[in-house]
A and B are shown apart, each in its own frame.
Chain A
Amino acid sequence: MSHEHGHHKETFITKYIFSIDHKMIAKQYLISGLLMGIVGVVLSLFFRMQIAWPEESFEIFKVFLGDNFAPDGVMRNDIYLALVTIHGTIMVFFVLTAGLSGTFSNLLIPLQIGARDMASGFMNMLSFWMFFVSCIIMISSLFIESGPASAGWTIYPPLSALPQAIPGSGLGMTLWLASMAIFIASSLMGSLNYVVTVINLRTKGMTMTRLPLTVWAFFVTAIIGIVSFPVLFSAALLLIFDRSFGTSFFLSDIFIQGEVLHYQGGSPVLFEHLFWFLGHPEVYIVLLPALGITSEIIATNSRKPIFGYRAMIASILAIAFLSTIVWGHHMFVSGMNPFLGSVFTFTTLLIAIPSAVKAFNYITTLWKGNLQLNPAMLFSIGLVSTFITGGLTGIILGDSTLDINVHDTYFVVAHFHLVMGISALYGFFAGVYHWFPKMFGRMMNKNLGYVHFWVTAVCAYGVFFPMHFIGMAGLPRRYYTNSAFPLFDELADVNVLITIFAIVGAAFQIVFFWNFFYSIFYGKKATQNPWKSNTLEWTTPVEHLHGNWPGEIPEVHRWPYDYSKPGHDDDFVPQVVPMKEGEEVLHH
């Protein structure tokens, strides 16, 4: 198997570029994800500036958007929509799906279950490089004359199908679809690999109920991905058919620019169903890994077992199951039968139950702990905070009745950014701070980490909390400017405030990037187990070996959460430590 490759002579290309080592692939995902993140965030700053100071001329637009997209430094209205679209696509898929899952599933699954590598190293490499190609295609769409895809990240046809409807639906949309098709293939290869690895390659003693919650989260996430991503693939494929080969899957009875088109019998609502059959599970594909990371970090840094380990697994499974039968809550006012709306309201609000269990379990884990407030721990606590704030408004949006008037307003923008955007980003940051020593053999600067967290935490609330109010004032999302409605004049100040918080918050991410790249080369040398953690990855040497452990793979004797267990001198008992004579298992 793969550890035999360790004896081969490694060249620069096999070690750093076409590597099949899961740790290197994780780093490749991390760095690509972070770079995509910069693009995604900068785009959002551009359109936030347009919302706060509508149709003003900015030097920075002249430089970055150019004369075509921003004549005289004023952003074009269809380019505004293009930026919104690409921001959403990049953040959801490229940063929080590939960047987050790709990095930590790859890094942690083999290390935490005691495997030498992924089940298929080659497929893993292929998965990364296909992701990389999809990144290049998506970014390249920013540079074409007609502009990138502009139909929103949900690319509802007919808008996304007809270049007559918006310029971005020409070549830009073609590139979007090509990029996403490749992305989905990459994601599926990754997910299959994760599932197979977790099922087959666990070391001796590593039963399913001794898996760290990180691995549980990655495992279940991969399953959701396998179930739902192919549906998006087929939706994309049918859309390509409609666009290029004249079929009518999603189009019917269209009159545009003085011309009747030939389409007949299709339905955009069908596309909505297919899209959200992935689109909603996608929220959990983004969020579950972040919650898994948080579970691990909160337990380690509280020096306490995670509270309700089995309840946590049960709630992950419940969320995963429910996530596949709630997609219709995005479509309450789409024109589908209202009875269907009732069903989706019911299933949607049920998700609040496992989510509440998770939130309370985190809080209980903190109770009577000995909290080590490392940057990773702060981001994990921050995640729980935004998960609660953002999750609670889900009770309003998941209720079909209440959705009628806040659907597609800024209330929705506030909700999903807090509950999945910010929460998942916090999980991402927490993971980077926590496993940086494992990835790079060095430590990140903690003081810069603290500055990073506190400014980000304040700005995240500053950006998204006020959006609830402008949403309840009836302000629709995806409006280039609100000046067409005198009714919204009183919201202008709030929008300026939001944009200022966004700019400051984004600027302080420079602190993180500086800390990250500086520490790779000049950070303090890490010790083998800096956080005094129980899990297996900290039994590997600091220097990376292909095959992870120099000798035999260690055997596992206990669950990963024996922190501060009575009868032990240390406040942690790694999974590799055998049970003492007469030692009891104190958890269920």
Chain B
Amino acid sequence: MTSFLVFTVLVLIGIAVWQLTKIFDLTQIGSASADSEIANDKDNSVNGYLMFAFVGFIYVFTIYSLYAWSDLVLGTPASEHGTDYDNLMGISMALIFFVQTFTQFLLHYFAFKYRGKEGQKALYFADNNKLEAIWTIIPVIVLAGLIMYGLYTWNNIMFVDEEDKQDAIVIELYAKQFGWEARYAGEDKTLGKANVRLIEGINTLGVDLADPAAQDDKVVTELHLPVGKKVIFKMRSQDVLHSAYMPHFRAQMNCVPGMITQFSFTPTVTTADMRTDAAIVTKVDKINKIRTKNSAKIVAEGGAALDPYTFDYLLLCNKICGSSHYNMQMKIVVDTPEEFKTWLSDKPTLAQQWKEANAPKPVETAVAPAVDSTKVVAQVIK
């Protein structure tokens, strides 16, 4: 079947080329140097008009793209700096859009307007300092503005004030092929020391359990964040480079083995609220329509139906990290402060878990969680 399709496509392309060359050939009839491979007036004319048509194509394609695909973009930012990010993006995009529209028009219009004709004389116009100055100085001014605005936002995002630190919560994001874990620093706001050489049994993060700061650390596989509170993430990786990408929060930082990296933001919209956001509701509906359609096809072929989609914030891996890079994710839930408190206090500390796991009696539980996590990955890959 595929080979037949490929064959048909090739035949059709052959016919298309033949027809197109014929069209160009037809334009040659009557011209003096019909057998030359150098453009003559007819070629210039045809291609000149095509140039003009091409800028039309660029415009139409752009407008179509904006109409059909602008709802694909991420939508309402869910973090404090996300609004600044989107503003800067909006300004830059508007500028780009303007320059693109204007320069593409000039380029293609001139290509059309000044298409070669017998006897037409080109203007000898070698240089003009005034013009050069104009298109040097205007970009300088515009870029100076963009650079300053950009760096102002960058500094606000990347540098955490000491004051903010007092009030923030500290979470470690831990990456490995191909999954995430998170460690909450607890009341002391200090993560216990850790090193991959200490990885053993359920202590999958290699936390130094002798460190006093590690005593209240809690390790989880689903990330919960309280709304309206600054979160300072400390990233680690145990094997290769990964990147903690949280697109809805406009947040990303690489996880580097042998080093701790940092990113922080303040979530502003709870998961529950985001699910009622107009744009998200439309998006979810659209996705679910697609999923129902796909599901019907899969069921017809004897597979299991797809689950309907509900909106969740996500943490994705965004640095090539191996075969299952495409499926290294963790759910993020933004809670109200009360919900968050309840959720976190229900979780045992790592020290407790360790004690239970290494209690003399049930030996098999010690290995169970480790085996479990790889199993999940394996299932997901399948």
Contacts and interface: CB of A to CB of B under 8 A. Distances in A.
Contact of A366 (B69, B110, B117): B110
Interface string A432-444: 0000000000011
A281 B259 CA distance: 28
Interface stretch (B40-48, B183-191, B266-274, B351-359): B40-48
Interface string A12-40: 00000000000000000000000000000
B69 A469 contact: yes
Interface in A506-545: 507-508, 510-511, 523-524, 530-531
B220 interface: no
Nearest to A491: B72
B305 interface: no
A81 B320 contact: yes
Interface stretch (A171-179, A218-226, A235-243, A344-352): A344-352
Contacts of A198: none
Given A450-B47, A451-B24, A356 B139 contact: yes
A366 B107 contact: yes
Contact of B318 (A346, A369, A457, A476): A476
A446 B43 contact: yes
Interface stretch (B87-95, B164-172, B341-349): B87-95
Interface string B113-142: 011110011111111100110011001100
A81 B257 contact: no
Interface string A385-422: 10011001101100111101101110000000000000
Interface in A352-368: 352-353, 356-357, 359-364, 366-368
The interface centre, meaning the residue of B2, B115, B253 with most chain A CB atoms within 10 A of its CB, is B2
B9 to A, nearest CB: 7
A401 B157 contact: yes
A151 interface: yes
Interface string B52-85: 0010011001100100011011100000000011
A349 B114 contact: no
B10 to A, nearest CB: 7
Contacts of A78: 322-323
B3 interface: yes
B92 A402 contact: yes
A335 B206 contact: no
A356 B135 contact: yes
A487 interface: yes
B256 A268 contact: yes
Interface string A453-478: 01101100110011001101110101
Interface stretch (B211-219, B221-229, B243-251, B332-340): B243-251
Nearest to B291: A489
B110 A305 contact: no
B137 to A, nearest CB: 9
B326 A481 contact: yes
B173 interface: no
Nearest to A519: B37
Nearest to B140: A353
Given A333-B254, A451-B20, A474-B247, A465 B85 contact: no
A341 B257 contact: no
A307 B114 contact: no
Nearest to A503: B9
Interface in B231-252: 235, 238-241, 243, 245, 247-248, 250-252
A490 interface: yes
Interface in B140-180: 140, 143, 146-147, 150-151, 153-155, 157-159, 176-177
B202 interface: no
Interface in A527-581: 530-531, 561, 563-566, 571
The interface centre, meaning the residue of A156, A162, A443 with most chain B CB atoms within 10 A of its CB, is A156
Interface string A482-496: 101111011110100
A238 to B, nearest CB: 15
Given A151-B320, A450-B24, A490-B283, A385 B124 contact: no
A401 B107 contact: no
Contact of B326 (A77, A378, A385): A77
A561 B124 CA distance: 10
A162 to B, nearest CB: 7
Contacts of A491: 72
B6 A400 contact: no
Interface in A305-341: 305, 307-311, 333-335, 338, 341
Contacts of B177: 165, 256
A409 B85 contact: no
Given A165-B239, A384-B107, A399-B150, A371 B256 contact: no
B207 interface: no
Interface stretch (A115-123, A202-210, A246-254): A246-254
B325 A478 contact: yes
A479 B153 contact: no
B150 A401 contact: yes
8 contacts: A268-B258, A308-B127, A341-B158, A368-B123, A373-B115, A401-B84, A484-B380, A490-B290
Given A359-B103, A450-B20, 14 more contacts: A76-B323, A158-B240, A252-B259, A254-B196, A255-B238, A304-B124, A311-B132, A349-B146, A357-B136, A405-B250, A458-B57, A466-B65, A507-B13, A566-B124
Task: Please give me the 8 A-B residue pairs with the lowest Cβ-Cβ distance, nearest first.
Answer: A252-B258, A474-B247, A587-B126, A335-B261, A338-B158, A443-B37, A255-B196, A447-B24
Interface of A: 58-60, 76-78, 81, 151-152, 156-159, 162, 165-166, 251-256, 260, 263-269, 302-305, 307-311, 333-335, 338, 341-342, 345-346, 349-350, 352-353, 356-357, 359-364, 366-374, 377-378, 381, 384-385, 388-389, 392-393, 395-396, 399-402, 404-405, 407-409, 443-448, 450-451, 454-455, 457-458, 461-462, 465-466, 469-470, 472-474, 476, 478-482, 484-487, 489-492, 494, 503-504, 507-508, 510-511, 523-524, 530-531, 561, 563-566, 571, 586-588
